[in-house]
Amino acid sequence: MPGLGAPGLRSPGAARPGRRFAGFLGLAAAAGILTHAVLPRMLGEWGATDAEKVMPLPGDELVPDADEIQTMAVTVPGRPEDVWPWLVQMGVDRAGLYSYTWVENGLLHLGVTNADRIHPEWQDLTVGDIIAFTPEGYPGGRQGPRVVDLEPGRHLVLDSSPGAPPGTVTGTWQFVLRPVDGSATRLLLRTRYGSRRPTSLRVTDFILRPAYLVMDRAMLLGIRKRAGMQGPGTPSPAP
C-alpha cells in the first residue's frame, strides 16, 4: 500500500542512483587530479638524465621567463646526421608526426600518414616554415609551430606561441641531437612555457598537457623505431 514509509524519508533503493552518480563524479575528479598531478611528473622528464634535464639547450634563450620546462630524451640508432632527416620532414601534410594515428585520425580527423622512409622532397625546411599540426581545410586552417632556428644535424627550434603578440615567443619546442659513441644519437625534446602566455592558452595547456606528453613520447619512440629500421632512400612499404 502506498505511503507506508515515514514522511520525508526515502527508501535505500531510491537513493542509490544519486549516490552512484556522485560516486562517479568523485572518481572522475580524482582521476583528473591524479592525471594532471602525476602524469606530467612521470612523462615530463621521461628518458632524460639528471644532467640533460638542466643543461642549457639551443632555444632556451627565447623564453627566459619559462615557468614550466619539460625535457624528454631517447637514444636513437645512427649518427645525428642520419636522424636529422626524420625531424625536418615532420608535419601532418608531410611525413606525419610519428605518433598515434588513432588519435590524429580517429579522434581529430587530421588525415595523417606516418612515413617509414626519408623523403628527399621534404628536406628543405627553413627558418619561418611551419611544421603543420593541422592541414589546409581544417577548422582554423594550416597551423603549427614555426621554425625559428635550425642547424642541420644539431638542433631544430620551434616557436609554439599561438595567441602571443607579434614578435613575442611564449613557448618553444626544441629538438637537440647529441652524438653518442659515433654510432648513436641522444635525441632531446625540451618544451618551455613562458609566464606571458595568454590565460586562455594556459587553461588549454593545463587541460591537454597529459595528452601532449603521451603524444610527444610516442613521437620520440616513433623516430627511434624508424631510424633503426630503415635508412635513407629505403622505399616505404606498399599500402
Q: For the chain, first and last CA: distance in Å?
A: 70
Provide the domain count of the chain.
1
Amino acid found at 27: L
83 CB-near residues (< 8 Å, 6+ apart): 76, 177, 185, 187, 223, 227
Find the range with the poorest average confidence among 5-19, 21-35, 55-69.
5-19
> Does residue 202 belong to any structural domain of this protein?
yes
Question: Of 6-15, 58-67, 145-154, 169-178, which gets the smallest average pLDDT?
Answer: 6-15
**For residue 109, what are the domain limits?**
45-229
pLDDT digits (tens, 9 = 90+) for 107-150: 889 999 999 999 999 999 999 999 999 999 999 899 999 999 99
Taking the model in full, what pTM does it have? Answer: 0.79
CATH number at residue 68: 3.30.530.20
Q: Tell whether the model's pLDDT for residue 167 goes beyond 80.
A: no
Domain assignment present for 130: yes
Residue 146 lies in a domain: yes
Closest CA to 125 of 158, 100, 101: 158
Between CA 147 and CA 159 the distance in angstroms is: 6
